């Protein structure tokens, strides 16, 4: 991992994945929303209170998106007028939970771990979505409209092929706007990921270190790792003496937030929401890690 070639390889893989996912998902979202009556969608989600946050968590849990690929979906939700709190719950939950993650956790770390992880992250996503909404976070959205739906500035073609082409070009415009940020973010993440010694991480995350969970949560935040990639790393760390709480903190902080994701979210939200999002992921990682150390 700490060789230059491996770092370049990691950069190429992550960058390729991000480009394909971003353009593909952006195109799909634009195509889907060309068929969706946005006023009906808004009314369906309106007035549900905490149930809207729960729906956001459920949708995030059933969609296999990584942190950065949730951004196009987030824009689509906001443009459709989905309540801000529900969107935030989706953004928090989406990169951390999906059926594959649950199965992998159950198979490699035990079903008790998988169920506890699902419950704790779901509760946290709902709570923080509600809190940010009550604190007026909707006022911190830029470049998209949170309420009132989206005004159609052009006529939507009737046939599928023309809709698909139009959706692709909309996705391409979005991609061009964030491409430089993606390169910078993935480059920083790859350098940290490639040159951080695993043995050092294991010592920091050891069971004898009372600050292991906090330390690992801090270390994991700059990394860009999907949960599916973090689980095998966590297994190796467990074998070297890391605590289960520290491993969970690494998974949540590493997969729940990423520099590429932050740079893209910065195009949607003002800095107060970005700061709040970083704090939320850190608190989730630490609290979940400490609970895991107590119950498992």
Tell whether 75 is covered by a domain: yes
| Partner residues linked to 242 by β-bridges | 206
Tell whether 153 is covered by a domain: no
CA torsion 68→138→86→247, rounded to 10°? 50
Tell whether 222 is covered by a domain: yes
Instruction: Encode pLDDT of 35-90 as tens digits.
Output: 766 566 556 655 567 888 888 888 878 765 555 567 777 877 787 778 888 889 98
Q: What is d(CA 286, CA 248) in angstroms, rounded to the nearest whole number?
A: 9
Tell whether 154 is covered by a domain: no
Classify burial at 189, counting beta carbons within 10 Å of its beta carbon; exposed 0-12, middle 13-18, buried 19 or more: buried
Q: What does pTM read for this prediction?
A: 0.69
Identify the residue with better confidence: 56 or 282. Answer: 282
Tell whether 237 is covered by a domain: yes
What phi and psi, each to the nearest 5 degrees, are found at residue 106? -65, -40
Instruction: Encode pLDDT of 16-33 as tens digits.
Output: 877 887 788 778 877 876
pLDDT classification of 129: cutoffs 50, 70, 90: very high
Tell whether 155 is covered by a domain: no
Number of domains in the chain: 1
Asked if 96 and 121 touch (Cβ cutoff 8 Å), the reply is yes
Domain range for residue 210? 4-148+160-295
Tell whether 248 is covered by a domain: yes
Tell whether 118 is covered by a domain: yes
Burial 219-251 (b: 16+ CB within 10 A, else e): bbbbbbbbbebbbebbeebbeeebbbbbbbbbb
Q: What is d(CA 267, CA 1) in angstroms, rounded to the nearest whole number?
A: 32
């Amino acid at each position: 991992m700490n060789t230059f070639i491996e770092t370049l390889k990691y950069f190429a893989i992550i960058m390729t994945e991000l480009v394909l996912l971003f353009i593909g998902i952006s195109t799909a979202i634009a195509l889907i929303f060309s068929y969706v009556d946005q006023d009906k969608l808004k009314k369906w989600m309106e007035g549900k209170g905490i149930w809207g946050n729960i729906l956001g968590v459920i949708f995030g849990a059933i969609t296999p998106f990584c942190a950065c690929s949730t951004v196009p979906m987030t824009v689509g939700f906001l443009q459709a007028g989905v309540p801000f709190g529900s969107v935030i719950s989706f953004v928090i939950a989406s990169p951390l939970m999906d059926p594959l993650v649950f199965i992998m956790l159950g198979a490699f770390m035990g079903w008790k771990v998988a169920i506890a992880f699902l419950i704790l992250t779901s509760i946290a996503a709902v709570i923080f979505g509600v809190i940010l909404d009550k604190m007026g976070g909707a006022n911190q959205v830029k470049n998209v409209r949170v309420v009132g739906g989206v005004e159609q500035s052009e006529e939507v073609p009737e046939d599928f092929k023309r809709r698909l082409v139009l959706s692709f070009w909309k996705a391409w415009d979005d991609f061009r706007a964030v491409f430089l940020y993606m390169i910078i973010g993935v480059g920083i993440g790859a350098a940290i990921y490639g040159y951080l010694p695993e043995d050092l991480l294991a010592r920091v995350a050891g069971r004898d270190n009372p600050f292991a969970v906090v330390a690992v949560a801090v270390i994991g935040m700059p990394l860009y790792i999907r949960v599916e990639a973090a689980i095998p790393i966590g297994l190796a760390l467990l074998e070297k003496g890391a605590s289960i709480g520290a491993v969970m903190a690494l998974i949540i902080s590493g997969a729940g937030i990423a520099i590429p994701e932050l740079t893209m979210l910065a195009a949607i939200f003002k800095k107060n929401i970005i700061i709040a999002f970083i704090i939320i992921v850190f608190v989730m990682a630490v609290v979940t890690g400490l609970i895991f150390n107590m119950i498992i």
